[in-house]
Amino acid sequence: MVLAAEEAVTADPLVSAKGSGLWRYIVIRFFLIFPTVIILVTVVFFLTRITGDPITAALGGRLPPDQLAERVHAAGYDRPLIIQYFEYIFGVFFFFIGTAITENQQVSQILLQFGSATLELAIYALIVAFLVGIPFGLLAARLRDRWPDAVLRTGAILMYATPIFFVAILLKLVFAAWLEWLPVAGRASTRTELLLQTLPNPTGIYLIDAIRLGNPDAVGDVLWHAVLPGLALGLLTAGVFLRLVRTNVIGTLGAQYVTSARSRGVGEYRLLTKHAYRPALIPIVTVIGLQVGLLLAGAVLTETSFEWKGIGFHLAQYILARDFVAVQGIVIMIAVIIAVTNFIVDIVAVLIDPRVRY
Amino acid sequence: MSAGHTNPSTDAEASVPEKTPAPQLTARKRPLLDRIPVISHVRQSVGLQRGMLVGGLVLLTVFVIVAIFAPWIAPYSWAQRSVDGVKFGTQQPPNPLNIWGTTVGGFDVFSRTIWGAQTAILAIICAIAFSIFLGIALGLLSGYFGGWLDRILVVIADAIYSFPSLLLAIVISIVISGGRSTLWSGILSTAIAITVVFVPQYFRVIRADVVRIKAEPFVESARVIGVPTHRILTRHVLRNSLRSIPVIVTLNASEALLTLAGLGFLGFGIDATAAAEWGYDLNRSVADASSGIWWTSIPPGLAIVLVVLGITLVGESLNDLSDPRLRRRRRAGGAA
């Protein structure tokens, strides 16, 4: 994502010169994923090992010293650090990132099992963010410095200023505890959960599973439970989108081609939605790459507040249990997800930028 | 591969000096008040922008005053469960003894909210101070000398920059405190965690400016007449590359507080008996919210919102005022 800005510029003449430029860019950008991931794995690995091996951290004091030493030896944590490091790096590329101490389960299994829940939450949040952020951002840019702009900007700043878990608590207080419209926590009611378990090969994404089940009550129940978590996580991102759309559209509204279009008699609405909006989208697409990181960090907090049993909820559980192998593994897999998303976003940014198209 | 700009506003700032070199040349002749960052911004602003800036400054002033005078404002200590031998009781609604009620642990909500300001301000100051110092030093050296060290630092900074700060902070908290902690170890581990996350931002901005400035004729002429390197670095390069620091400081200050609260909320907080921390209090109040108990969550939550709001309003206004595309001018003719 960082590279996108420059690469796009340097790739520009290349692309127009010969057709293979885009593919070369994609290949180079793809291989840039690896240094990012390796650096992050290295940083996380050595940071978590400075203080000693993870088994002593999790179980020290609860086991007699000889048993502790035995388990440390069995897990291979008494070997030289550099050997463990290379083993770990190789493991990451084969999706082997250690065994959780507290449950004796592969961390990659935990991720596969609960990843779908986090993905579902992230999709709901992104829908909320797009529906709220982009139209209101356009409105704020159009009515710049008038009262709707002031209200919307204050709202956007408020959305950013409110920690996501406080938003969650407020939503819970108002809609679940006082009005009793929506459920307090969880992904579905117990009855629906039991129904969903009868389904063969579940996707883990409850909405899809409920639709496959063909039970309208179950679909309604799943959606009902998704409203508050989706809003809590989505509003945070919506605030960022709103401010971005506003700033960028104000920038493009002042551009000369917009002025010339206005002098040709193009209507204000068309100016906004056609002329100013499209070019303003390019920096927004690039920033969505960064938003994925924010979204995942926010998901950790949202899931904890709503007992939404995804990766983030379990990450918090492992933190409390001092299971640092699991924490380390989850954090590293999130790093991989972010690196891959940034790669995709960079490619999309190049594809939608008309200056690079040929 | 130089540190690229992703932030549109930073991009615009970077292009300002080439067009308007005048302020730098006349800097010495301007009155003192105009040269202090925030005050000059207030004088420059008009209308809504001034309102936002002043509003933010007011919120921040209240926050600082509460933090400094917490021992006199708060009726009880943060870890007090009883007064004169009478227990407060747990989850008590607001009453004359505890004006904002008590928490699930039997602490006074009002006192803990007030004392929380102190923890927050200490964490913010430590985090900002560490990261400015490290970020500027690394950016200056890396940008000025270049070479392989520069390349390595840029790659590492970019890798860290793309990663969510809260998750990195979790990993670093594990290292520094193993989770639970007392007041100072808790604040320091949070501050160091935030530092690691923020250093890349300062590093990138300073480095980009230094790379630009070191090619300017005045640096070259200083080198030609034999000015020692450390003097060129501090006097000629550093002083001209600090332009965008106030904006980043305010943006980072709010993120520092949110990270502190986020760590506290996830259970990496400071122990309730060691200090009052808003994120920890919110963590304990999640279950209260489900049963309709509002007084344990609203005060610490609002405290975070107001402080972050104050910092963000100031930061946002400074950002707009330093961006000529977004700045409103005093005279109608100059309106962008």
Give the tens place of pLDDT for each residue, B231-285.
Answer: 888 777 877 777 777 777 877 888 888 888 888 888 776 776 777 788 888 888 8
Q: Is B162:A296 a contact under the CB 8 Å cutoff?
A: no
The β-bridge partners of A106 are A99
Q: What is the 3-state secondary structure (H, E, C) of B32-55?
A: HHHHCHHHHHHHHCCHHHHHHHHH
Residues in chain B with CB shorter than 8 Å from the CB of A160 are 308, 312
pLDDT at B37: 65
Distance between CA atoms of residues B203 and A167, nearest Å: 33
Distance from CA of B24 to the nearest CA of A (A): 26
Task: Name the minimum distance, in Å, from the CA of B295 to any CA of chain A.
Answer: 11
Q: What is the structure's pLDDT at B110?
A: 82
**Which of these ranges, A156-160, A244-248, B109-113, B266-270, has the smallest mean pLDDT?**
B266-270
Mutate to test the interface with B, among A153, A165, A249 (most CBs of B within 10 A): A165
Q: Give the one of B6, B9, B297 whose C-beta lies nearest to A286's C-beta.
A: B6
Tell me: pLDDT of A351 over 60: yes
| Amino acid letter, residue A252 | T
Number of H helices, E strands in chain A: 17, 0
Q: What is the mean pLDDT of residues B290-307?
A: 83
Closest-approach residue (CA) in chain A for B11: A5
Residues B190 and B265 sit within 8 Å (Cβ to Cβ): no
Q: Which of B164, B171, B279 sits opposite A48 (nearest CB)?
A: B171
- Chain A to chain B Cβ contacts (< 8 Å): 182
Tokens 């180079």 map to which residue? A28
> Could you read off the pLDDT of A248-266 as tens digits, one per residue?
888 777 778 878 888 888 8
Considering CB atoms only, which of A6, A169, A251 is closest to B282? A169
Chain A hits for B162, Cβ within 8 Å: 1-2, 36, 289-290, 293, 338-339, 342
Share the mean pLDDT of chain B.
74
Kindly list the residues from chain A whose CB atom is less than 8 angstroms away from the CB atom of residue B172: 47
- Residue with the bigger pLDDT between B279 and B13: it is B279
Q: How confident is the model at residue A96 (pLDDT cuts 50, 70, 90)?
A: low
Greatest distance between any 2 Cα atoms in chain A: 85
A294:B160 CB<8 A: no
Element containing residue B82 per DSSP (H, E): strand B82-83
**Which residue of A157, A235, A282, A305 to mutate against B (max B Cβ within 10 Å)?**
A157
> What is the model's pLDDT at position A293?
77
pLDDT attached to residue B143: 82
Q: How confident is the model at residue A104, as a pLDDT?
A: 67
For residue A343, pLDDT beyond 70: yes
Please state the rounded mean pLDDT for residues A298-323.
Answer: 82
pLDDT at residue B9, as a whole number? 41
Beta-carbon contacts of B275 under 8 Å, excluding residues fewer than 6 positions away, are B78, B115, B118, B119, B182, B183, B186, B187
Rounded CA gap, B30 and B61, in Å?
27
In terms of pTM, does the model score above 0.80? no
Mean pLDDT of A320-335: 78
ipTM: 0.73
pLDDT at A356: 54
Dihedral sign for Cα atoms in the order B116, B50, A166, A287 = negative
In chain A, the percentage of residues whose pLDDT exceeds 70 is 82
Helix, strand or coil, per DSSP, at residue B119: helix
| 8 Å CB contact of A2 and B161 | yes
Name every residue whose Cβ is closer than 8 Å to that of residue A209 and which is 6 or more positions away in sequence. Answer: A196, A199, A202, A203
Chain A interface test: which of B163, B201, B251 (most A C-beta within 10 Å):
B163
Q: How confident is the model at residue A119 (pLDDT cuts 50, 70, 90)?
A: confident
Tell me which of A61 and A175 has the higher pLDDT. Answer: A175
Least confident piece of the model among A141-145, B86-90, B104-108, B305-309: B86-90
Chain B residues whose CB is inside 8 A of the A57 CB are 174, 178
pLDDT in tens, A1-28: 333 443 334 444 444 444 567 777 788 7
- Cα dist from B253 to B124, B258, B324, whole Å: 6, 9, 24
The pLDDT of residue A18: 44
Confidence band of B12 (pLDDT split at 50, 70, 90): very low
CB contact under 8 A, A5 and B301: no
Q: Residue A136: what pLDDT?
A: 86
Does the structure show a pLDDT above 70 at A97? Answer: no
Chain A contact set for B336 (CB, 8 A): 254
CB contact under 8 A, B266 and A300: yes
